[in-house]
Amino acid sequence: MLIRPRRIRNTESLRKMVRETRVDKSSLIYPLFVKEGTHIEEEILSMPGQFRYSVDRLPYKLEALADAGVPSVMLFGIPDEKDACGSQAYAQDGIVQRALREAKKQCPELYYVTDVCMCEYTSHGHCGVLKGDYVDNDETLKLLAAAALSQVQAGADMVAPSDMMDGRIRAIRECLDKNGYVNTPVMSYAVKYASAYYGPFREAAGSAPAFGDRKSYQMDFHNVREAVKEALLDVEEGADILMVKPAMAYGDVIRAVKEATNLPMAAYSVSGEYAMIKAAGKMNYIDEARVICETAAAAYRAGADIYLTYFAQELAQYMDEGRIG
């Protein structure tokens, strides 16, 4: 035989030389939950190994991430008080705003992304203000823009709206520009599906809707052409980075959006993905480390340039060990 594909698989060094998908630590973002109170480092039951941190405990985790080589975090806030309009999302002394000020002071070398949504802050758990039982899209845009602005004023390096309201990228972009933050990028959750994979996150952030579901604004998981449409709209509205969420079961969507646009592509490996791997690893049904690496490589192979994952610290270690890279 003249053609033998196995020739280039004979040694580890050769396999790495011809590797098609390459990843490094600079692409990792670690999602972090911050809550009110002091001296709190509270494990999330459905996400073993993940914690809710009070502002005073947050720097210890940030330092560990920085030491591991994880360059960026995304902050999610858990307020003590919630109301119908989610006012703590855009309060100057809100939990994320206070966390940002402390984080920038204690660990300025990290890059801080903030989730912009209302679900953690509203008493009803939906991602916007209600008109009856329906989320009022256009009224919500004003609050999302206010939340993004307050986070940037508190020190956010990038904002990431996850609400899936129509027109929110334009609303946030225009608000930031008007207030002088023309160089602050927006990473859009452009393609966010109404997914069962979010279950543990809703426990972690206390953000489950009090009634109904989010299918009137998050996407139907059967659709991919709609994902491309959503992404192209966000490009027109001024998004700087696009995201597909979840990651594990949506490689085809990541690829479709990547091919249809020219912006950097992020993929969010969500709480359910993390919980499944941890549960199977605990039962010794899988080699946890190898599955973490393989799952991450699948997202990058599909087209992700940025990977948001609760396994970011482990992946940084595995890159050092040469298990993935």
Share of the chain above pLDDT 90, in %: 86
d(CA 6, CA 1): 12
| Beta strands 51-54 and 28-35, pairing class | parallel
What gap in Å lies between CA 199 and CA 46, rounded to an integer?
Answer: 9
pLDDT band of 2, cuts 50, 70, 90? confident
As a whole number of angstroms, the distance between CA 156 and CA 302 comes to 29
**Whole-number Cα distances in Å, 120 to 24, 34, 162, 313:** 31, 11, 11, 25
The tens digit of pLDDT for each residue in 115-150 reads 999 999 998 888 988 998 889 999 999 999 999 999
Active-site annotation holds for 178 = no
- Do 182 and 149 meet the contact criterion of CB atoms below 8 Å apart? no
pLDDT digits (tens, 9 = 90+) for 304-321: 999 999 999 999 999 999
Catalytic residue among 245, 258, 278, 282: 245
Q: Is the pLDDT of residue 210 over 80?
A: no
Helix (H, G, I), strand (E, B) or coil at 176: helix
**209 vs 150, 155, 189, CA distance in Å?**
24, 29, 19
Which pLDDT belongs to residue 325? 87
Q: Are 172 and 186 in contact (CB under 8 A)?
A: yes
- Has 192 been annotated as catalytic? yes
> Which is catalytic among the residues 192, 215, 278, 282?
192
Q: What is the pLDDT of residue 90?
A: 95
Tell me: the pLDDT tens digits for 287-308? 999 999 999 999 999 999 999 9
pLDDT single digits (tens) 149-167 = 999 999 999 999 999 999 9
List the structure tokens of 270: 């969500």
User: Mean of the pLDDT values across residues 101-111?
Assistant: 97
* Paired sense of beta strands 72-78 and 28-35, if any: parallel
pLDDT on residue 116: 96
